[in-house]
């Protein structure tokens, strides 16, 4: 029997919940220095390789569509994808938009001390509306 779905406390503290898809919850990292979105599948698996084939395909297709959207929407030079899970064991998939002028370039964003920057309420509402339109994000 699986446990009811709940976000890991660190994800809940570090992110805004933008909405959900059948594959899981979409988060936006609170630090607006980088466009950093995180897909959290609603499952008991801790690693992508633990998902059944059909679920893994659905999750990775959604993740790739999200990454493509991030790249276009934020005019990124690169979109870094990762599913590390060393600090947060709950399965979560990162799509981080990177530009040559971002504060962590060319290094990795993970573990880099980003300058403090916050998303405004208007920016959050706009991003959510655009994701609903482009990728069928649900409330």
Give the pLDDT of residue 2: 61
| Contact criterion met (CB below 8 Å) for 47 and 93 | no
Please tell me the least confidently modeled range out of 1-5, 54-58, 68-72: 1-5
User: What ranges make up the beta strands (E) of the chain?
Assistant: 15-21, 24-29, 36-41, 78-82, 93-98
Longest CA pairwise span in the chain (Å): 47
Domain 9-108+117-135 has CATH 3.90.1150.10: no
Looking at the predicted structure, is the pLDDT value of residue 3 above 80?
A: no
Domain parsing of the chain, residue ranges: 9-108+117-135
pLDDT category at 5 given cuts 50, 70, 90 is confident
pLDDT category at 32 given cuts 50, 70, 90 is very high
Distance CA 30, CA 36 (A): 9
Tell me the mean pLDDT in the region 5-19. Answer: 96
């Amino acid at each position: 029997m699986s446990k009811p779905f709940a976000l890991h406390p660190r994800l809940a503290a570090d992110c805004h919940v933008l909405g959900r898809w059948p594959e899981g919850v979409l988060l936006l990292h609170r630090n607006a220095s980088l466009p950093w979105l995180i897909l959290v599948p609603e499952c008991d698996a801790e690693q992508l390789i633990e998902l059944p084939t059909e679920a893994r395909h659905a999750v990775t297709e959604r993740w790739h569509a999200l990454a493509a959207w991030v790249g276009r929407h934020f005019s990124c030079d690169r979109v870094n994808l990762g599913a590390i899970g060393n600090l947060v064991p709950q399965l979560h998939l990162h799509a981080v938009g990177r530009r040559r002028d971002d504060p962590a370039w060319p290094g990795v964003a993970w573990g880099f001390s980003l300058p403090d920057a916050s998303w405004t309420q208007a920016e959050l509402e706009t991003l959510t509306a655009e994701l609903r339109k482009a990728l069928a994000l649900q409330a």
